[in-house]
Each structure stands twice: as structure tokens, then as C-alpha cells.
Structure 1
Amino acid sequence: MILGDKVSTGYTAGDLYDPNLSWETTSQYNAGLDLGLLKGRLNVMANFYLSRSFNLLFDQPISAVSGSTTILTNLPNSKVQNKGFDLQVDATLIRKSDFELSISGNINVNRNKVLIWVDRQRS
């Protein structure tokens, strides 16, 4: 940087950080069922899951005068839910010594929902 007619060394603040920054936390539950029928020619697999994440990480906007435009922080009392199920069916239609014909299908349903969200700019 130039001050008057001389070149001077300039310094800037390093990355700003939130001293209370912590990991997001997640609780998760899963239940599944695998079922084989007809001597393994028909297989059904089903899974259900439910997870909830808390204290989500967030890039909080701050004044650019500080040298940065955001700071990574946790949103207190924030909670997001993710739940759904998967279903897969595999069937062997033809099984010969030198030939096999199989078919598979699956479906997945997933729902995300914000349960609690706190906007720090307004609180």
C-alpha cells in the first residue's frame, strides 16, 4: 500500500472465526427388512430412515469493513428433519444352466422439513 509517496507494508486480519463454533449434530434411526422367497428367485428389501440435524452450520453475513463478508457459525435452535423409505424388488424370471433373465425395480421417497430455524439477523 502507498502512504504519501512511500510504499508501506499493509496487514489485514486473518479469517474471522466464531469461538463458540461447534459441529452440527445428527440423530438417526434406521429400520430395514430383507426378504427372500421362492428359493431366492424373489427378493424384497425395504428400509425406513429418520434423521434430525441440530445446530446447523451457517455463513452469517457480516460487515465487509471487518475484512470478511461472512463468518461460519451455528444457528442455535435450528433443526432439520429428513425421513423416507426405500423399496427394492429383484426377481429372477428365468434361470437355466446357460441363461438367466432377471428384473429389478426400486422406489425411494424422501422428505426434508425445516422444523426450527432462527434468523440471527432478526433476533
Structure 2
Amino acid sequence: MILLSVASGEEVMETISRKLEELDILDGAIVSLIGAVEGCAISTMAMDDATSDIIIEYPQPLEFSGTGEIVDGKVHLHVVCGAEGNQTVSGHLHWANVKNFYVNAYVLPLTHR
């Protein structure tokens, strides 16, 4: 298992993708994500059209957890985020910014280049 850390000032999807490329990891599982972000964009499917994404941006501090996969070098993450007032949002992650904390991704590689 490999630990990839996303530090303050970094974006989650870009950083994880870049680090996976540096390690030549093409396929694998992102077994766990944990940390906190200061904003993100998450999508869910439209009720009447499963092929249509509804993307919503959340410009606030959020507790952050999730899982995902790496297929042909592309990262696909699903997350659950906790907001003020014990509210949660979840779905497919498009971007997330780390500012005051960090996000750790625990990766189990399946193939390398």
C-alpha cells in the first residue's frame, strides 16, 4: 500500500493524479481518503437521466472521506463530506482544495508501467 498526501495549498484530484503518474501506477484501488478540504465540487446523477451530471460547488470547510479507483491512469473518486451542522454531501469528486489541513489517500496499486 502507498500513502499519497495532499498538502495545504494543493488540489486533491490534480495532486493524486500527478503523484500516481510519477509512480507509474496505471491501475489500482484508492482504498481510503481522509482529511479536510476548504471547498469542493461534487456531482450526482439527474433523477430522470443517469447520464447527466449535476455538479454542485461547496465553498466551505468540509470533513472529507472516500474511496475510488485508478483505471488506465485516470482517478475516479467518490466522497462523503461533513459540513457545519452535521450536514453531509456525497457523490463523484471533480475537485477539492486543501488549505488548513491535509488529505491522505491510501492506494493499493494493481499495475505499473
TM range (shorter): under 0.3
Q: Which has the higher helix share?
A: 2
Query: Radius of gyration: which is bigger?
Result: 1
Higher relative contact order (CA 8 A, sep 6+): 2
Please, what TM-score do these two structures have when normalized by structure 1?
0.22
Please, what TM-score do these two structures have when normalized by structure 2?
0.24
